[in-house]
Amino acid sequence: MPFTRIALRAGKPAPYRQALMQGVQRALVATFNVPEADRFMIVSEHDEASFAFDPSYPGISRSDDFVLIQITVSNTRTVEQKKALYRRIADELAENPGVRKEDVFINLVEVLIENWSFGNGIAQYAT
Is residue 55 annotated as part of the catalytic site, yes or no?
A: no
Q: By C-alpha distance, which of 103, 104, 118, 79 is closest to 24?
A: 104
Radius of gyration of the chain (CA): 15
Say which of 2, 15, 35, 55 is annotated catalytic: 2
Burial of 94 (0-12, 13-18, 19+ CB in 10 A): middle
Positions annotated as catalytic residues are: 2
